[in-house]
Amino acid sequence: MNNLAEAGIDPTPLISETYRSCSARSFDHDATTTVSLTDFRRHSEDNITTTIHTPTWRHPITSTNAYLTKLSSIFSSKFLSFLAIEQFTQWGGIMTLIMSLGLPLFKNLGIDASRQQLYMTMIISPFALKPFIGVTSDLLIIKGYNKRYLGVLSIIIGLAGCSALLILYGRDTASAAVEQGPDSVRHLADFIVICFFCMNLEGATLGILGEGKYSEIMRHKPEAGSSIITFKFLFSLFGQILTQTYVGPLADKGHFHILFWIALGLLIAPLYPTLRGWIPEKKRSSEENGLKKLCISKGLMFDRRLYSTKRTPFIVIAASGLAAPIMSAVTTYSGLGIGLTLAGVMLIVLAVMTYCIFPLRFFRITIGLMLLVLCRPKMTSGLQYFYTANEQCLPDGPQFSYTFYITLSGIVGTLIHIVAVMLYQTFMSSWKFRPALIFSMIVGSLATIVDLIIIKRWNVAIGIPDKVFFLLGNATFENLTNILHAIPMCALSAKISPPGMESAVFAYSVGIGTFCFLFSNLLGSGIIKWSGMVTVGTDCNFGALPWLIVIFQILVPLAISIPATLLIPNVHQTDQLIDWKTERWYEADTDLLDETLSDSEEGSRDGKECSVNFPDLL
């Protein structure tokens, strides 16, 4: 649960610097309002703001009031409502539920920690699909909209996955599979993975649709800071607290079917705001220059003009989104060694493509983010199995119940997340990126000493019970440092998107980060497996876990992360990271493009054919 933020949640600081209040209606428009990009840029230029970085301390209440005023003056109420619902139900609800259920579901099937971590990597891989989803939302228009019906389609897929669980997974399904043997267990585990994959695909899609929109607004209104990201992050935490209150007790009693019914309700909740167009976007028509009809009966169009301006980046970004699911599938169903080799090759290819396509500063930032994630191989499943091992497996272990480990400690950890955001707002939001990252990495590495103390049973030796030490240490200290690290990391990804390709490039940056997170999961799974640990059965052996923590959670992260921060611009968190106008990266010969498009569109506007000639589009 401590790794939720690292898996893709976008927390950022509440910024309280001096700013000029923009027009109350600058972005307060719904899906039917027409705002041209020219008007948008003109308005931005007419309201140029000089950011004043105030290093002095600001009271949390005063800072929060300024934050809310700024937020409501820039973003429409419908868009804020969409983000609140999406974050509360998807990140805080579905994501928390799935990440929590992975432990009891797979342990009930007798699956060891290494294999369970592989399954969880596959389950969260939809969030690495964001580059592909982002490109699709930028280029494909369904019934006049880039985002609306793509979001609806993802909701249908999520509901289908959850419905399959409700129909085919019963109270005695796991025990029956265990009795029938390893093949039956493997088939049931595969079925759970596919259903959870579909459910997470909804959250990944709705997430990138909202992220692309606020990334666009943040670029045009830099005085907004990162307030919108903090807003949605807080709602995800509220949803996480609520979800954790019931997941643990129901998991302890084996009432998984009830949890699947709750998940069905969470998955359907965003349908109305998505269908009603609460994500602000202009409706587009076939008469717009550069749009190519693909299928008149279904209202499908392709933005050939936008694609032609930067076809190579679009192709590369879309392809990068497929890397993580392919890597996860190969690793899970072929072999860990093969998967890790493939993942290493993919990382090199992603780095080379980023260097060849994007500006040098974008490349440096991306490499820095990759190293900051890759330097800490995940030991999540090993720790989870240690803390929840029963008396037969580990007689001298903590033997935490799911009610304590998932619910009680989860709620404490989530409350600490909220406190961490407030602390970051008050003390660290005025820091530059580089010192904020270095501080969070040092403190985060030292936080894992709490796990080391419990594993070595030193807390028991001095008379401190496991539950007390875990709540005061792991649930508090590690959750605090995780968020302090995640805030500047996610703020960086939100600030490097170029105009016209916000959804695609934002998704590319986040997708690469998620790919690195999944790679660190796979690497951690391999380390657990090759260390010789035994995590299930009646004679468990966690003897290797302490030195794995010291090497891969403390020493290696510190040795890699601190030099990696030198690749990050040492600027304030409200400064622009890349001047895209100076880079001229996104500019194209529009006159030549118009001529090319006008020649090719005459025969495509009638849209009588439903077949799509993709080679022609590429």
| Phi then psi dihedrals of residue 235, to 5 deg | -70, -35
Question: What are the pLDDT digits (tens) for 90-132?
Answer: 989 999 999 999 889 998 888 988 888 889 988 988 888 888 8
Q: What pLDDT score was predicted for residue 319?
A: 82
402 and 251 in contact (C-beta within 8 Å)? yes
Each domain of the chain, given as residue ranges in start order, spans 74-579
Q: What pLDDT score was predicted for residue 14?
A: 31
Q: What pLDDT score was predicted for residue 289?
A: 81
Q: What pLDDT score was predicted for residue 478?
A: 72
Q: Which fold has domain 74-579?
A: Growth Hormone; Chain: A; (1.20.1250)
The alpha-carbon radius of gyration of the chain (Å, integer) is 24
Identify the CA nearest to 98 among candidates 123, 121, 128.
123
| Phi then psi dihedrals of residue 329, to 5 deg | -65, -45
Structure tokens at 453: 């103390």
Q: Which residues in the chain show pLDDT less than 70? A: 1-68, 70, 218-227, 229, 295-298, 425, 474-475, 494, 499-504, 584-618
Question: Which DSSP string do the residues of 391-450 spell out, in sequence order?
Answer: TTT-TTS----HIIIIIIHHHHHHHHHHHHHHHIIIIITTSBHHHHHHHHHHHHHHHTHH
Exposure b/e, 346-377, CB count within 10 A at least 16 = b:
bbeebeebbeebbbeebbbbbbbbbbbbbbbb
Rounded to an integer, what distance in angstroms lies between the CA atom of residue 88 and that of residue 575? 29
Question: What are the pLDDT digits (tens) for 176-204?
Answer: 898 898 889 989 999 999 999 999 999 99
Q: What pLDDT score was predicted for residue 78?
A: 86
| Phi then psi dihedrals of residue 593, to 5 deg | -65, -40
